[in-house]
Amino acid sequence: MFFVFQLKTKFSACSVNMNIYKNAFKMYQFCYKRRVSVFNRQYKCFACELGNRKYMIRTPNKVKRTHNFNSKKMSSDISSADYNIDQEATTDLYPYLETESDPQRESLWNYLFLDNTDDKTIILKKCASVEEVFNFFKEHSDNISDKHISQIILKLSDLQTLFFYHMDDETARREDFFKKLQEYREFSAILSILNDKISSYDPFLLSYVILHLHKLGVPTESYLIQHIAVQLTRHLLKEFTLEMTANLFKVIFKDHSVRPYNIVKDLIPTVLQQIEKVDNVTDLEYVTICLNRMFQVLTNDVLDRLETKVVELIEQKVLKNSDSHTILKIILLFNYPAWRTRNTRFISKCILFMEDYIELLNFTEMEFLHDVLISNQEPGDALNTIQRCSAKHIQQLEDSQSHRETRLKLFCCLIYFSSPASIVQFRKHITKYLNDKENLESLTLLRKIFSYLKVSDKKMYEFYWDSSCQVLKESRNIQTMLKLMDNYNNFVYSNSKSRHFAFEHHVIKLAKKYFYDGTLTLIPDHFFQCFSFAFLYCADTGFLNDLLVAFRENNVQMGMTSCMKMSQALHLLGDVRNVILKKESIEEVKNILNKVTERIYTYNKRSNTKNLLIKSAVLRDDYETELITDILESMKDIDCMSSKVLEGICFNLYSTDSLIPEAINKCTDYVIQNNRSILGFNAEKLLNVCYYLNYYPIYADKLFPIVTDIIIRDQERASGLSFLQAALALSYFNCMPKSFVKQIFNVEFLDRLDVELRNCYFKDTYPYRVRYILMQLNRVMCLENPEYNIPWFHQKIIDEYQKTYAIDDVSNRCHLKLREYMLNVVPKEYVSENVSVPYGYRINFVIHLDQNNRPTVNVDDPRTIKLAILVKYPRSYTRFSVQLKGQDELKNRHLEILGYKVKIIKWEEFKNLLYAGERIEFINNVIYS
């Protein structure tokens, strides 16, 4: 804890926001939570312990883990989801190690050694193999300078890159090159000399030496790297430069523990002070790199200061849209999950600012930009540019047999926003991305591709999961098991009919081993992930019961992500049907998840957390509790908006039938204020939820033209269902443009829709949903917009539907009960039941009244009033702000157009009346009032 105390002291002295100290403390706790032991390992390589020690590349000895699963409860807001600590999530955001081109390497050499034209430098620059470099070293080892050691390290790094990019073997890795280097005694001798000279070494060159040593493969935890890091820190405390600090931070923060912070704790205040001093693009890039590396201790205040500086440099035309590489680094810093939502608008503005120069990004940078786009679902205006550039890179990579994983990543990004027509074409190309020898990363990418493209080829599924079994057998480590387990859960969630029982068996067998030897329970998230898998697929009663006991005892350590995954498992139970699960166990798990939800909500009331908690409750069909009701009501006070938050709000309000005007108003305002950022499918979701809940949004005169333009912009990539739902919502509010009518009701569109339905994945549900929405839209046009002369062409579908799906209301228990009392008010001969009317509507009861308000059978008299009595059940009304839903209101509107006077019987009100006299009076008031 001395480290945290020192951080507090240093930051206070520099008047830095004390929230940084709090984040540092949380990060320290997180390391404990993740069982990362720092101070007691056998490194002994901090500032005070770097004495005369013989150099060796040493990785840490494994420490026996003795922590129990029942460790001290940590605050629920300290999680990998908040701080992005997972190895996959903290992969180097700036791929300088992977993307250096030949000109970049040449440029770095010239930058460092431009004025050095001595014979040794010329010889080293011409070296074309490792042997030539080491021969040079052997000839000059007795008298070698700092400069030439640096040149040797840089040249080896260049050769490593050439080795990696030009190997025919797809499985070649940089680590292979480092293993070969270690076979040379000269390499150890070079590192030994370097270690001896560190105290007198040129600090500027040393900052690049440490960078390229790490690139070669020297572990961050090694004595040499730690020694260099401390020496550079000492120098920077005396003579600070952003360039050297950025190089240092790039390397030492590869170690995801407290150790890097302990080394540079005195430098951090100086780095933060540089934000306001930045006056050029280069320094801005260095500052961004430094902040990115120490993201665990950043606060909103620091990010706000950086945002202010970026905006200032743009206004001063110092930072230009052509500086796309630097802007991307800024975007990636602001895109960390812990603060992504509050900074989404700024991220989108940065992407739109550099839109004209996105084509300058290399394929790895394009991959990162796509990740930002997918995680934020904006900005929509830049989507075409980004996809066009990605397609260009894929085409370039198609010509080479290498870079398969990069092609997979770009292909995965490209198809995420693709149109239904493109998806059909992409399905034909999947086979060329398959490989007889798959690895964990490629399997994860392929799973995403299968999900995005809705692949239904069973042979392809078999190949995929057979390959997964093979990877699992070869690796046999818990991280691989968990990742493949996550792949399987996500896969079955989107396609519950395609299971692979051999894979389930292998995973359960391996999970049992890790559970009973204690490995699985070392990290809570790992246990909960395994439990959600076993809950669905485990056929071993004893093992499942043991997992249930552990879950019951240790659920206090469950976080938001684990809660969501467990809720998804409960949602899938209806399809998977694990026969050994008892109903009592399912209810117990639901009750525990409700308690977990309450605990998380107590500590974390951010808008994205609320959305996830509500969605989890919806998935497990348990959203009518008092707690979820409170969370829904709290959506009135959303702390920050983004497209992702908007999507979550629309899903939750739609799924729970909840009308919360304040929440919808904030979504509306966000769309109006950020119209360039909104994607078409999110605009459609907002329209659809307004229609579904029968809510006329604020600023409607601005909103409807804006969302119409957005949908027109993105209509090529919209599904038929999404486009038709948007059109129906606009027509409900009398705002559908004439161009939509012409586009939808023509042969070309309907033919294209038929093609989409023939190629769709969910053939049992999707075609019906599309045709039903099209029928509703056709009905609206015929009844409300006869001037368009749209014919009614759905009567046959209506007749087929009523034969197949419709329930005869006459046999409905509620209908019979109402009929019984209604016949005490109106004689039987005047009451018509379950009446079909034009355009597919059905009416529960129809009664005709004459001009004296008395029942009559004279239906042809123009003075006769046609009463349409509709029975409305609770599902026809919204919650919170109670009113009829849009579809029910639309039916009332159309019946009035057809000449009926609509009367409503609320079933709940009728049911709650205790006496027959009260019920008769109630019906009498409905009819004659």
| Peptide bond preceding 379 in cis form (omega within 30 of 0) | yes
Q: What is the pLDDT of residue 632?
A: 92
Average pLDDT value over all residues in the chain: 81
In this structure, are residues 217 and 175 in contact, taking their beta carbons and an 8 Å threshold? yes
SS3 of 48-73: the string is HHCCCCCCCCCCCCCCCCCCCCCCCC
Given a cut of 80, whether residue 741 has pLDDT beyond it is: yes
Given a cut of 90, whether residue 335 has pLDDT beyond it is: yes
Given a cut of 90, whether residue 730 has pLDDT beyond it is: yes
SS3 of 298-359: the string is CCHHHHHHHHHHHHHHHHCCCCCCCCHHHHHHHHHHHCCCCCCHHHHHHHHHHHHHCHHHHH
Q: What is the pLDDT of residue 58?
A: 33
Residue 302 CA to chain centroid, in angstroms? 25
Q: What is the pLDDT of residue 50?
A: 32
Contacts of 910 (CB under 8 A, 6+ apart): 818, 919, 922, 923
Given a cut of 50, whether residue 907 has pLDDT beyond it is: yes
669 pLDDT tier (thresholds 50, 70, 90): very high
Lowest mean pLDDT among 21-25, 227-231, 346-350, 551-555: 21-25
Measured CA to CA, the distance from residue 875 to residue 872 in angstroms comes to 8
* Residue 658 bridge partners (DSSP): 879
Phi-psi region of 184 (alpha: psi -120 to 50; beta: other; left: phi over 0): beta
The bridge status of strand 879-880 relative to strand 658-659 is: parallel
Longest dimension (CA), the chain: 119
- Of these ranges, 424-438, 444-458, 886-900, the one predicted with the greatest mean pLDDT is 886-900
Per cent of the chain over pLDDT 70 is 85
Per the structure block, which two tokens stand in for 906?
Answer: 């609320």
In this structure, are residues 317 and 279 in contact, taking their beta carbons and an 8 Å threshold? no
Q: What is the pLDDT of residue 806?
A: 57
Measured CA to CA, the distance from residue 439 to residue 81 in angstroms comes to 25
Amino acid, single-letter form, for residue 696: Y
Measured CA to CA, the distance from residue 54 to residue 656 in angstroms comes to 67
Contacts of 687 (CB under 8 A, 6+ apart): 707, 725, 726, 729, 730
What is each CA distance from 202 to 62, 185, 208, 237, 789, in whole angstroms?
35, 25, 10, 15, 83
Measured CA to CA, the distance from residue 119 to residue 531 in angstroms comes to 65
Q: What is the mean pLDDT of residues 49-57?
A: 33
Q: What is the pLDDT of residue 400?
A: 60
Lowest mean pLDDT among 114-118, 194-198, 430-434, 698-702: 114-118
Q: What is the mean pLDDT of residues 470-483?
A: 82
Residue 842 phi/psi, 5-degree rounding, is -125, 140
The more confidently predicted of residues 127 and 67 is 127
Per the structure block, which two tokens stand in for 399?
Answer: 């010509």
Measured CA to CA, the distance from residue 257 to residue 253 in angstroms comes to 8
pTM score above 0.85 = no
Q: What is the pLDDT of residue 856?
A: 86
Measured CA to CA, the distance from residue 326 to residue 94 in angstroms comes to 10
Given a cut of 50, whether residue 77 has pLDDT beyond it is: no
Residue 746 phi/psi, 5-degree rounding, is -145, 160
Measured CA to CA, the distance from residue 605 to residue 635 in angstroms comes to 10
38 pLDDT tier (thresholds 50, 70, 90): very low
- Of these ranges, 396-410, 566-580, 632-646, the one predicted with the greatest mean pLDDT is 632-646
Q: What is the mean pLDDT of residues 871-878?
A: 91
Q: What is the pLDDT of residues 764-804, one digit of tens each?
A: 888 889 999 999 999 999 999 889 888 998 888 888 777 76
Coil, strand or helix: which one is 36?
coil
Contacts of 647 (CB under 8 A, 6+ apart): 377, 682, 685
Contacts of 728 (CB under 8 A, 6+ apart): 691, 773, 776, 777, 780
Residue 429 phi/psi, 5-degree rounding, is -100, 0
The more confidently predicted of residues 281 and 496 is 281
In this structure, are residues 505 and 476 in contact, taking their beta carbons and an 8 Å threshold? no
DSSP state of 877: B
- Other residues' Cβ atoms within 10 Å of the Cβ of residue 283: 17
What domains can be seen in the chain, in order of their start residue? Answer: 94-221 (no CATH), 807-928 (3.40.960.10)
Measured CA to CA, the distance from residue 346 to residue 314 in angstroms comes to 13
Measured CA to CA, the distance from residue 481 to residue 476 in angstroms comes to 7
Given a cut of 50, whether residue 300 has pLDDT beyond it is: yes
Measured CA to CA, the distance from residue 366 to residue 764 in angstroms comes to 37
Q: What is the pLDDT of residue 325?
A: 92
Place of tokens 């690796």: 475
Q: What is the mean pLDDT of residues 112-134?
A: 78
DSSP state of 822: H
Lowest mean pLDDT among 297-306, 417-426, 898-907: 417-426
**Helix runs in 624-679, H state only:** 626-634, 643-656, 661-673
Measured CA to CA, the distance from residue 190 to residue 193 in angstroms comes to 5
817 pLDDT tier (thresholds 50, 70, 90): confident
Given a cut of 90, whether residue 897 has pLDDT beyond it is: yes
* Residue 630 bridge partners (DSSP): none
Place of tokens 């002369």: 789
SS3 of 823-837: the string is CCCCCHHHEEEEEEC
Distance linking the first and last C-alpha atoms of the chain: 76
319 pLDDT tier (thresholds 50, 70, 90): very high
Q: What is the pLDDT of residue 24?
A: 52
The more confidently predicted of residues 648 and 852 is 648
Q: What is the pLDDT of residue 655?
A: 93
The bridge status of strand 900-906 relative to strand 865-872 is: parallel
Place of tokens 């991305």: 433
Measured CA to CA, the distance from residue 551 to residue 197 in angstroms comes to 55
Q: What is the pLDDT of residues 181-222, one digit of tens each?
A: 777 888 888 888 888 888 888 888 889 889 888 888 888 888
286 pLDDT tier (thresholds 50, 70, 90): very high
Measured CA to CA, the distance from residue 487 to residue 140 in angstroms comes to 54
**Considering only CA atoms, which of 250, 106, 293 is closest in space to residue 228?**
250
CA dihedral 483, 485, 488, 494 (to 10 degrees): -80
Measured CA to CA, the distance from residue 262 to residue 48 in angstroms comes to 12
Per the structure block, which two tokens stand in for 202?
Answer: 């040129």
Contacts of 613 (CB under 8 A, 6+ apart): 560, 563, 597, 600, 601, 628, 631
Place of tokens 């690895």: 439
Given a cut of 50, whether residue 354 has pLDDT beyond it is: yes
Q: Where are the extended beta strands (E) located within 241-318?
A: none
Given a cut of 60, whether residue 760 has pLDDT beyond it is: yes
Q: What is the mean pLDDT of residues 870-886?
A: 91
Residue 118 phi/psi, 5-degree rounding, is -70, 165
Q: What is the pLDDT of residues 440-467, one digit of tens each?
A: 788 888 888 888 887 777 788 888 888 8
Q: What is the mean pLDDT of residues 71-76?
A: 33
Residue 179 CA to chain centroid, in angstroms? 37
116 pLDDT tier (thresholds 50, 70, 90): low
What is each CA distance from 243 to 267, 289, 432, 599, 694, in whole angstroms?
13, 10, 43, 44, 58
DSSP string, 480-531: HHHHHHHHHHHHHHH-TT---HHHHHHHHHHHHHHHHTTSTTSSHHHHHHHH
Burial 64-96 (b: 16+ CB within 10 A, else e): eeeeeeeeeebebbbbbbbbbbeeeebeebbee
DSSP state of 875: G
Given a cut of 90, whether residue 307 has pLDDT beyond it is: yes
Q: What is the pLDDT of residue 343?
A: 92
| Helix pair 363-376, 643-656: axis angle to 10 deg | 40
